[in-house]
Structure 1
Amino acid sequence: MSNLLFSVFPNENFVDIGLYQYGWEQCEPSHSFGPAARNHYIFHYVISGTGTLMADDSSGNTIKYQVKSGQGFMLFPNQINTYIADQNLPWEYTWIEFDGLRAKEIVSTAGLSPDHPVYHAGSKDLRNEMMNEMLYIARHPGSSCESPFHIIGHLYLFLDYFMRSAATVRMKHSGKIRDFYIKEALSYIEQNFQNNITIEDIASFCGLNRSYFGKIFHDSIGKSPQEFLITYRMTKAAELLKLTSLSIADIGNAVGYPNQLHFSRAFKNTYGTSPRSWRNENKLEPDM
């Protein structure tokens, strides 16, 4: 079985929403496309695996995003972007290229823009219906004897599921879109604080560029993402100092500071004293 399906829609007489090309691919490890700019909107939905999208935001800065199964990404007209399959778990995706008078409105309603190109689903059922429509279109033979309205009808069904499944639509209606992103960010920090993560990593996980992510995080939490990450790590370090007999170096390493000097400096900036002095004053003695 071929690992690639690709078709070009022959009819360009649809003005509101037109279909240009569509397909499906099981990518080889590290398979890449770009850098390139497209003339229309192209939406990729990741069925399995993972990969990296590098796309220019509205200010022309190239932002890197990690996109995994169950998510998707939008390529915008005249936007320069590159996307690369993971080396160990390359993605399988299906895609649709479309445009028209209502295309921008549809994409905007789904909450996607050059600054927020990563699709998150708020409903698993609607997401699966969207994927099924995309795969139906991708696998359609494109018979010249069949009315083009058949495939255009499925394109409209795809767009309906796309808009309704997008997490941002649900969050906008409830006024909690920022809460959704902050929850994602906090979950990522809780699970990865001990690793060498950056603010770009957290923003990428949320599908946002760093500038926008930093703004909504500070507005919601009252600290910058960097300040919060340091505080979170130091809180965990204080717990370990108080409850364990691990060495200062081991504790620093456990909270993401392999360099003991850097850890001690960060701890003192937070608590006003060195890790050793803080432990001497706060360590719990075992019950006799």
Structure 2
Amino acid sequence: MSEPVFSIFPNENFVDLSLYQYGMEQCPPAYSFGPATRNHYLFHYVLSGTGRLMANDSRGISHEYQIRSGEGFMIFPRQINTYIADPKLPWEYIWIEFDGMRAREIIETAGLSPDHPVYHAAYKDLRENMKDEMLYIAEHHDAPPFHLMGHLYLFIDYLSRSSSSQMTTSGRVRDFYIKEALNYIEQNFPNDISIENIASFCGLNRTYFGRIFKETVGKSPQQFLLSYRMAKAAELLKLTDLSISDIGNAVGYSNQLHFSRAYKNVYGVSPREWRNKNRVMK
């Protein structure tokens, strides 16, 4: 039996999508992991063999799934789960742990959720492309971070396009509005924008926009905008010599006191304290 491959991604400077851990393992018969929870999204693709997944759905009810070669399963943040290799035909799988502000949106586009955690491919060629990207990441752990992130995006693309999930018309329309909102935030977060501005840009009533945004992204528009701005501020604090005031302006805060207060509410310390602890030395 081959030794498991396990790697930790060395860079945390990515916001929309970030890679955490990845690897590959041929499990011994009846090998089990759990019950456990994860902090991020964790996708397994089964290369050979079979096994079982026991996972809680969105209501906290546990379900059991049989998963075979050519299929996969997604484990969600804070979801209680256990997975067990078959005693006679144990599985070999490859896995990637990732997260980021766009992760939930992407995973839902692929049709995966705590209520539907099993991946079934409708297109064999795209499934094989997805598998190849996962193998590449696992086998090139010493590649530069941006190189690996490029392959993470390719993996995500093939995961979404190979899925057999068929979104409803209303789901496609909702997805369009959310993408428009996220693009607007990404392009305008340094400016003095409001939730009304974002809803108006999408052509939606603010109340309806706030509801579908939270249902899709998992945060209210206000929470997402704040998190996005503070994540961008953290990048600047870590990687640049800009002053605290300039960084506040760069992420939409003309008042340094308001910026420092908002940053402390998210990270627990002031921007200056955070920079002193996390600064990347040049």
TM class by smaller structure:
0.5 to 0.7
Give a deviation string over 1:232-263, Cα, whole Å, max 9, x none: xxxxxxxxxxxxxxxxxxxxxxxxxxxxxxxx
Between the aligned partners of 1:70 and 1:155, the Cα distance in structure 2 is 19
Query: Is the aligned partner of 1:158 residue 2:155?
Result: yes
Following TM superposition, by how much is the alpha carbon of 1:147 offset from its aligned partner in structure 2, in angstroms?
2.9
Query: Is the aligned partner of 1:33 residue 2:13?
Result: no
Q: In the alignment, residue 88 of structure 1 is paired with which amino acid?
A: K
Between the aligned partners of 2:77 and 2:169, the Cα distance in structure 1 is 30
Aligned to 1:172: 167
Aligned to 2:15: 15
Q: In the alignment, residue 100 of structure 2 is paired with which amino acid?
A: G
Check the 8 A contact 1:21/1:97 in 2, yes or no. Answer: yes
Aligned to 2:84: 84
Between the aligned partners of 2:74 and 2:149, the Cα distance in structure 1 is 20
Q: Secondary structure at the match of 1:167?
A: coil
Query: Is the aligned partner of 1:149 residue 2:146?
Result: yes
Which aligned pairs between 1:227-238 and structure 2 lie closer than 5 A? none
Query: Is the aligned partner of 1:118 residue 2:118?
Result: yes
Superposed structure 1 runs of 4+ greater than 4 Å apart:
none
Between the aligned partners of 1:104 and 1:85, the Cα distance in structure 2 is 27
Between the aligned partners of 1:174 and 1:94, the Cα distance in structure 2 is 33
Aligned to 1:246: none
Check the 8 A contact 1:52/1:64 in 2, yes or no. Answer: yes
Gaps spanning 5+ residues in structure 2: where?
171-282
Between the aligned partners of 2:47 and 2:144, the Cα distance in structure 1 is 29
Between the aligned partners of 1:18 and 1:82, the Cα distance in structure 2 is 24
Following TM superposition, by how much is the alpha carbon of 1:140 offset from its aligned partner in structure 2, in angstroms?
1.1
Give a deviation string over 1:142-188, Cα, whole Å, max 9, x none: 2xxx53100000000000000000000xx33799xxxxxxxxxxxxx
Give a deviation string over 1:170-228, Cα, whole Å, max 9, x none: x33799xxxxxxxxxxxxxxxxxxxxxxxxxxxxxxxxxxxxxxxxxxxxxxxxxxxxx
The RMSD of aligned alpha carbons is 1.5
Between the aligned partners of 1:147 and 1:87, the Cα distance in structure 2 is 39
Following TM superposition, by how much is the alpha carbon of 1:11 offset from its aligned partner in structure 2, in angstroms?
0.3
Between the aligned partners of 1:43 and 1:173, the Cα distance in structure 2 is 24
Aligned to 1:127: 127
Aligned to 2:100: 100
Equivalences, count: 170
Between the aligned partners of 2:67 and 2:27, the Cα distance in structure 1 is 14
Between the aligned partners of 2:135 and 2:168, the Cα distance in structure 1 is 29
Aligned to 2:59: 59
Between the aligned partners of 1:135 and 1:57, the Cα distance in structure 2 is 29
Check the 8 A contact 1:3/1:27 in 2, yes or no. Answer: no
Give a deviation string over 1:27-82, Cα, whole Å, max 9, x none: 10001111000000000000111000000001111100000011100000000000
Q: In the alignment, residue 165 of structure 1 is paired with which amino acid?
A: S
Which aligned pairs between 1:258-277 and structure 2 lie closer than 5 A? none
Between the aligned partners of 1:158 and 1:26, the Cα distance in structure 2 is 21
Change (3 A) 1:173 1:129: farther
Check the 8 A contact 1:43/1:72 in 2, yes or no. Answer: yes
Indicate the percent of aligned positions where both proteins have the same amino acid.
67
Following TM superposition, by how much is the alpha carbon of 1:2 offset from its aligned partner in structure 2, in angstroms?
3.1
- TM-score, with normalisation over the residues of structure 1? 0.57
Aligned to 1:72: 72
Change (3 A) 1:173 1:165: farther
- TM-score, with normalisation over the residues of structure 2? 0.59
Between the aligned partners of 2:109 and 2:64, the Cα distance in structure 1 is 23
